[in-house]
Structure 1
Amino acid sequence: MSDDPWMHGLHADTGYLLYRLGLRSGSAFNAALEQHGLRLRHHAILRYLATVDGARQRELADRLGYDPSAIVSLLDDLQRLGLAERRPDPADRRSRQVVLTPAGHALLRTADHDSRRVTEDLLTPLSPTERATLNTLLQRLATP
């Protein structure tokens, strides 16, 4: 760490450190996923869709914390890539559900491998116990 007192002040600020880590991790994840034509936000949607049997666009926005207007554009991208598709909602014919396609499932397996590699690289300085503690703490902070 620098001897610069200004930097010491910033590195004592947890909010600033979280911000910097967010920038660094987002950049690393996007770099790893771009070979698949994806960004981190696309990957998050694919991961969520893999856990449900279809989701409405509003549900995706709510669950992932994305602006509903951003979801439309992200889903357009995924549909164009053949990774997800919109289908009529069997419970409400006026609504549409988004589902993962077989190509989406296949790509997700590869993208998850790349994602785990990025996580491993980011967490290299931490012991397994520290990683588990960090994950627990981040889950508490991320849950409203």
Structure 2
Amino acid sequence: MSASAPLLDVNAQPGHAIRRLHQIAVGIFLQETAAHGITPVQYAALQTVHNEPGIDQRTLASRIAQDTSTTAGVVERLQARGWLQREPDPADRRARRLTLTPEGQARLAAVVPDMRRAQARILAPLDPQEQVQFMALLQRLVDANNELSRAPGSVRQSGA
């Protein structure tokens, strides 16, 4: 006799809703930033390197919560586009220090208004108070579950 799985509504499950919201968020980001040909992860890498010039590649991976091999590919693509440069760390020749090129700085400055518009579109169904509450609850979930990730992030405190 085989056990029958219960009938469950996947749309009532938080993991499924989060996955769907992620798909929607990526779709909106790509629509708003189409003229720049940049992905959300590439944007995160550029913004993080801009915020922390000279950051090493391993720390960048941790900051954007990506594994080191994925981050290496992102860095290689950004370097190939002329937006990022890697230089050996004088204190540790195995480490690579990252900085934006002038073209990378210009590209980041150009994409920020479109990225902000994407973020506003994602939150648009909520009123301003709900947006603040949603972001606080979302950050609480991320922080509380960070160590369960395959690529836990180490977030540096900074301004929005």
TM-score normalised by structure 1 residue count: 0.86
Partner residue in 1 for 2:9: 9
Aligned 8 A contact 1:33 1:40 in 2: no
Count of matched residue positions in the alignment of Structure 1 and Structure 2 = 138
Q: Quote how far apart the aligned CAs of 1:33 are.
A: 2.9
TM-score normalised by structure 2 residue count: 0.78
After superposition, the C-alpha distances for 1:61-118 in whole angstroms (9 at most, x for unaligned) are 1221212111121111111111110012133234221111222122112211111111
Q: Structure 1: which 4+ aligned runs deviate by more than 3 Å?
A: none
Identity %: 35
Unaligned segments of structure 1, at least 5 residues: 1-5
Tell me the secondary structure at the aligned position of residue 96 of structure 2.
strand
Partner residue in 2 for 1:84: 84
More contact order relative to length (CA 8 Å, sep ≥ 6): 2
More deviation in 8-17 or 119-128? 8-17
Q: 1:119 to 1:94 in 2, by over 3 A?
A: closer
Correspondence list, 1:1-144, <5 A: 9-143=9-143, 144=146
Q: CA RMSD in A?
A: 1.8
Counterpart CA distance in 2 for 1:79 and 1:19 is 30
Q: 1:25 to 1:44 in 2, by over 3 A?
A: same
Counterpart CA distance in 2 for 1:36 and 1:18 is 26
Counterpart CA distance in 2 for 1:33 and 1:39 is 8
Counterpart CA distance in 2 for 1:9 and 1:96 is 47
Partner residue in 2 for 1:3: none
More deviation in 99-108 or 31-40? 31-40
Aligned 8 A contact 2:57 2:95 in 1: no
Higher helix share: 1
Paired AA for residue 49 in structure 1: V
Q: Quote how far apart the aligned CAs of 1:11 are.
A: 3.2
Partner residue in 1 for 2:157: none
